[in-house]
Amino acid sequence: MDTLTNILDDLADHITVLKELGQRTIEMDPQTVRELTAPVVPVNQQKAIPGMSAKKRTVRKREPLSKSVLQSSKLLSPEERLQELREIETETNHCFDCGLCKSRIKPLIGQGNSNSPDIMFIGPAPDAEDEKAGKTFSGPAGDLLTKMIEAMGYQRGDLFLTNICKCRPANDRPPLQEEIKACTHFLEEQIKIIRPKAIIVLGAHAIKGLFQTQSRSTSPQGAWTQYHGIPVMPTFHPKYILRFHNDAEGQQKQLKSSVWRALKAVMMLLKRD
Ligand code: SF4
């Protein structure tokens, strides 16, 4: 099973690289396509993680996120925002809505400034480094993100950093569509509470995941789009950039330039250039 998982992870990574380099088609054997598109057995009753309560979380009734909800919903005080975020954290701790509850040690809902920060960074899911540190965007990728943030004239604590899925996928593979779908409501609630002025979404998986509920195609990196009325700039994930550290053709440099152009566009929007 581990071998199969590793093969699928490598395949997903390879396809992501091709896509981010602009390739839009791939040749596949028809039998492989049939097998890959066979119905997936739904995750129903997941076993409780040792030490964690198996009781079903109480899901609060949530208004669907929309531009009008963002504009008209009550502006919360800083204390109310923290309280709401703590409630979301408690809900994720008791959430067994997708298979990621089996691989996580603890869900991570993100951290930073929750009072209408200039920017919310959104990645696909926490990884092993994040889980170990108990903080989203840790390890070398987190260090690179910190450098990006500081180059924009901010500190990490000025902004809010989170992921679409709150639990770490096994072997740090990208989250599956059904996992993203199961978890997106937590992110939507966070956006409604935090009200960032702009969103920077990191990497193809997060871009696809963020927009899947709006059934629209993903936006290419570096081009403005919107999420419920909030300007969104998609760009490369720091972890993806770091993959090219031994790259003799300067691809990492190209990727960094491309990311910097995207960050500059956000700075212009926020009048920080
Ligand atoms: S990833 Fe999200 S939906 Fe899945 S178990 Fe964790 S908190 Fe629940």
| Atom 8, ligand 1: residue with shortest CA distance | 95
- The owner of tokens 């669907």 is 64
Specify the ligand 1 atom closest to the Cα of 98: 4
Q: In Å, what is the CA distance from 140 to each residue of 17, 149, 151, 158?
A: 19, 14, 17, 20
Which is more confidently placed, 228 or 145? 145
> How far, in Å, is the centroid of ligand 1 from the Cα of 186?
9
Which residue out of 92, 96, 163, 189 has the highest number of ligand 1 atoms within 8 Å of its CB and is therefore the one to mutate? 92
> How far, in Å, is the centroid of ligand 1 from the Cα of 102?
10
The rounded distance, in Å, linking the Cα atoms of 264 and 273 is 7
Q: Can you give the pLDDT at residue 252?
A: 86
Q: Is the pLDDT of residue 1 over 60?
A: no
Which is more confidently placed, 182 or 21? 182
Q: Could you tell me the strand order of the sheet in which 230-235 lies?
A: 111-112, 160-163, 119-123, 198-202, 230-235, 225-227
Domains of the chain: 74-269 (3.40.470.10)
Give the other-Cβ count within 10 Å of 45's Cβ. 8
> How far, in Å, is the centroid of ligand 1 from the Cα of 269?
33
Q: Can you give the pLDDT at residue 44?
A: 45
| pTM of the complete model beyond 0.85 | no
Model pLDDT for residues 41-73, shown as the tens digit of each residue: 444 444 443 433 444 444 555 555 665 556 555
Mean pLDDT of 99-121: 95
| Atom 3, ligand 1: residue with shortest CA distance | 183
Q: Is the pLDDT of residue 186 over 70?
A: yes
Mean pLDDT of 2-31: 56
| Atom 6, ligand 1: residue with shortest CA distance | 167
> How far, in Å, is the centroid of ligand 1 from the Cα of 219?
25
Q: Is the pLDDT of residue 163 over 70?
A: yes
Mean pLDDT of 230-248: 88
Q: Can you give the pLDDT at residue 216?
A: 44
| Atom 4, ligand 1: residue with shortest CA distance | 98
For residue 187, what pLDDT band results from cuts at 50, 70 and 90? Answer: very high
